Homo-oligomer: A and B are copies of this chain.
Amino acid sequence: MALNRKLRYGMVGGGPGAFIGNVHRMAASLDGTMELVAGAFSSDPAKSLAQGKELALASDRCYASFSDMAEKEAAREDGIDFVSIVTPNHMHFPVAKTFLEAGFHVVCDKPMTNTLEDAEELCNLVKKHDLVFALTHNYTGYPMVKQARAMVQEGKIGTVRKIVVEYPQGWLATPLERSGHKQADWRTDPKRAGAGALGDIGSHAENLARYVTGLKLEEICADITSFVEGRVIDDDANILVHYQGGAKGVLHASQISIGEENNLNIRVHGETGSLQWFQEHPNWLYYRELEGPEQVFKRGNEYLSAAAQRNTRLPSGHPEAFLEAFANIYLNAGRTIAACQAGETPNSNDLDFPSVQDGAVGVHFILTALKSGKVRKWVDARYIPPA
C-alpha cells in the first residue's frame, strides 16, 4: 500500500443491535489494512458513545450526528479517509451526499437510494468530486462468482440464453415486524426501506446476474406480493426477465419462503455451456459443457482465473465464506482509496467493486419491477446511469 499506513475510516449507523454494521466492521478489519477511528453510530448521542467505547474509539470521535462527523473529521489532520454508511436505506442518500461534498470517499450499503433522482445525484457528486464510491453488493465479492464472470467473458459458455437467479429467504414469513424485531421493523417500513424483498435482496439478484454475465435488462414482467397480513411492503417477487441481446430468464426473491435461509443462487445457460453457483456453498462453482462430465470448480486452486485467485485468502478446502466476500469489497475499494490518497493511479484489478452507477442501475430495477407489478404488464427496463 503506497500510503504506508492503515486507512482510517468512520462509520455512520451500526449502533447497538444493528446487524450489518458489525458485518462491515469485521469485513474492514479482516486484512489489517484499515482501522475504524470514528463513528456516528446512532442519532442518540449516548448510544453512539456507548458503541464507540465498545469499539475502543476515542470519545471525541464518537459523534451524535453524521453531519457533525463529516465536519469535524474534515478538519482533523488525522481525519478519516472514507466513510462507511450502514444506516437504513432512506438515510443512505443524505449521508452519502454530505460526505461526498465534504470530500470523503464512501462505502455504502445497498440499495443505494430510495429514488432514482437521489441515485443519479450521487453519480454526479462522485464524478464532480472525483471520489471513490463502493456499494456493498457483497455477493459479487465471492471468488467463485468472479470465476463465473471470467468464464463467461472467456466464452466458456457461449452466448447466454437463459438466466435463472433466485434469492429466497424465509425470515419474514411471519409478521416479525410487529414483535419488536429491529431488523424486521425498518425493513418492512416503506418510508425507510423503500421496497421490501425486492429492494433488500431482489437488487442483489439483479446485480449478481449482471456482474456474472455483463447483460443489461431490456424488459421485465413482475408479480409482486405482500403475503403476510398487514404488511404493506412486498415480501415476494417473481419476475420474467428479458436481457438486451436476447437472453431471457427468471428472477425471483422472497422473504416468506420458510426454510430458506439466504439461498441466493444463479444458473446461467449459454449456447455451449452452463454455470451454477449457490451462495450457501460458495466455494464451489458448477460448469457443464455440451459434452462431457459436469465439472466442479473449487476455490483456491491454480486452475482458476486471475480474478478468482486475487480475491482469495485461504488454500483450497479451507472454506471461505460471507465475510471474506464482503471483505473483498473493502479490500479492493480500500486499495483504490489508498491510491487516490497517495495521488497514484488505482490498479485496474482493484477497481473490481460495485460502483455508484451499479447503485443507480439497481434502484432503477427496483422501481421498474414495482411499476410492472402494479400494472401487471411487461415494461421497458432499459436504463443508462449518468457516467
Spell out A's residues near B (CB within 8 Å).
4-6, 19, 22-23, 25-26, 29-32, 36, 55-56, 157, 161-162, 164, 166, 168-171, 173-174, 221, 223, 225, 227, 236, 238, 240, 242, 248-250, 252, 254, 256-263, 267, 269-274, 276, 279-283, 286-298, 300-303, 313-324, 376-378
Contacts and interface: CB of A to CB of B under 8 A. Distances in A.
A273 to B, nearest CB: 6
A183 B236 CA distance: 39
A303 B291 contact: yes
Contacts of A296: 293-296
B223 A223 contact: no
A379 B317 CA distance: 33
Contacts of A377: 377
A32 B27 CA distance: 10
Given A317-B280, A322-B314, A298 B290 contact: no
B223 A240 contact: yes
B161 A289 contact: no
B294 A259 contact: yes
A236 B221 contact: no
A372 to B, nearest CB: 11
Contact of A274 (B221, B258, B302): B258
A236 B30 CA distance: 34
B290 A258 contact: yes
Contacts of A250: 238, 250, 252
Q: Which of A221, A303, A376 has the largest number of chain B CB atoms within 10 A?
A: A221
Contacts of A36: 32
A319 B248 contact: no
Nearest to A292: B303
Contact of A26 (B291, B313, B321): B313
B225 A248 contact: yes
Contact of A295 (B170, B248, B294): B294
A256 B269 contact: yes
A377 B375 CA distance: 11
A270 B294 contact: no
Given A26-B30, A162-B254, 18 more contacts: A6-B56, A26-B31, A32-B56, A157-B258, A164-B166, A258-B270, A258-B273, A258-B274, A259-B276, A259-B288, A261-B300, A262-B316, A262-B317, A282-B319, A293-B297, A293-B303, A376-B378, A377-B377
A139 B170 CA distance: 27
A273 B258 CA distance: 6
A296 B280 CA distance: 14
A303 B294 CA distance: 11
Contacts of A317: 169, 260-263, 279-280
A300 B170 CA distance: 14
Q: Which of A249, A295, A301, A321 has the largest number of chain B CB atoms within 10 A?
A: A321
Contact of A236 (B169, B236, B238, B248): B248
Contacts of A19: 315
A294 B250 CA distance: 26
Nearest to A235: B161
Q: Which of A242, A279, A287, A295 has the largest number of chain B CB atoms within 10 A?
A: A295
